Structure 1
């Protein structure tokens, strides 16, 4: 099996990518002595950090150098926060420095790293416990200093982006010896008020100023809160202990306010989309109902009921005529049978006696047939009469309605059938009323 051959560039890129991916080499703390310090005209700092046995090159870009409170000099004992990476053109491993402090607080950093390791082992930094941000927070708590630009920026940002929200302010100490206890007390109070979310914010400052946010007790308090907690402490390069425990971390107070609030313009556009969908749905339903109404309205049973009644009356009359013919036919057959019986009686009584039984059976069968046909026709006549009676205009009148006729006894069905001063006859259940047309009114359905 042949072994892969690396180019120098590929090897250096691979080593750099490996260093950049290793989270144990990001934002680490290193202490040492400064040597070969150079303040480049671009604003970058270049120096070497060394101890008794080793040294490593360092670069601090201008964006971070401008915020550095120290006047760095050779021989100075410092504690730096930095990312380990590689400078590809020369293949040198070096530190990309984020912050520089005098080594006087090095012990505190060591204590902080120990606290971070312990809390991480307990699962306080785990993503599984972090709560989801509310999509449309209507009740927001803000914990910050009573005065300061950071506090004002938060209120201004919330009002600009999401003015529907109610904001509850909890003024609190955010630096100094008493700040830790005050922060914990204020956070517990705010959490008990059931806000949709709570912002814990503070503007930038030195590491000493922000140190109260590295409190283990405060971190545990944040972890135990039932409310969504968003931290926004210091500048983008500042990371405190509560940033690891909070449900979300924002790089600045203003960014925290933007993170928790939707933009009202986006929400308005979304509402307009939903409104248009609803309008289209209502219009479609209305069109379907209108079509169904028109189909019902076009049904001739409703638009021309008198025609249906007249047709049923004609069919009923024809059924009556057919029934009368059947009854008449039965009577004629019975008469013929009686005549035949009398003739047979006079011409040959003996023959009549012999066939009387047969004739009696025929007579009974004929009578049954006539009775069956008669009963069937009577039943059909009753049903037709009931149907005719149900559709009778007089029945409608008996229920409280009326029929209106003109002078020629024509039934009025529309306002177009009459004109002013026409004499009308209104038929009600117990008589008729004479009336004269004084005007017409169109009813729009």
Structure 2
């Protein structure tokens, strides 16, 4: 009986890794078809694999321009991969199983729990159903608002399609755009409708479905869980702090904020503070930002979104717990306290593991890219590696110029960032047993 339980416990990480890999493989095949590209030749295999990985891992890094390279078929393939990758294939599987009247097994509930990073399997199916409702409603509202604005600049049918594409892409924190010429949303830098709608889509997709569900149920329950409080507080702090820092650092930059009105400066600063939270769209030229601003964005990309969301990174809760642990150590306290609740030690250890694993992935990717991309600026390489790990999609222009080996490195980094370093580690680990006995304590000097 014990062995049987272990097999079930180990299945979710392996299944998630294999599931994402399978979706990427199918997407790659579709993008190599002649019907997928405007030149009628299809993408070369490596470029197709890169694009499919970027879409499924909701990253947004591209080696070819999405708007001019792909046909409607190719763009729809990318859009489908973004939607499946953002919500998770298990959410779709559960939804179709419910529609067909199929009973959801314990194994499937465990898979969904792992996919959503949920604390228990209680109510997990109901949450999955609500996630799909949230997604449809939010993306529909975003698409309508964007389509109305785009209709002033293009035919109505095109505006509607652009509205749908960019709504789905940004809610899923993918960052893909079809504006053409790698320009993203730079033409709308001072446009409050496009900026605020996209910011809202990115934020809603990045706070996590668990938080979204608790906010929805607040009128009935009348309280938030500790998780939701930490996510909302940390996310607000990062957005406000990032906006102010970018505003101050770029205020006199003639290539970014200086030519804009005061309102436009704050609007652009807000957008550039929100988009590193794993979205990837941009209204300012990333390569023209000051190095200090780029470093701030690297930190924001590394932290990323929140657990159970469409975004990547080490997550806001991990960042908050580590800061709380440092604060407790400085104050000489043994426990980490948030909102009058003590954080369990295993949660702190897990946060430290996620942080170090993520840092290791970024460092290894950046180091390998310095070898495969000789002569490139190191900050550009570090920015690209962090963007790939955080599934952000922001680029200083390196991705389209990557060598074949460089594309493979970024592809693997995007995959690791979306699935999660811990999920991959658990998937390749044969057993995870706790020690049957305790060792005597030892002392090591620190600091």
Q: TM-score range by the shorter chain?
A: under 0.3
Calculate the TM-score normalised by the size of structure 2: 0.21
**Bigger share in strand:** 1
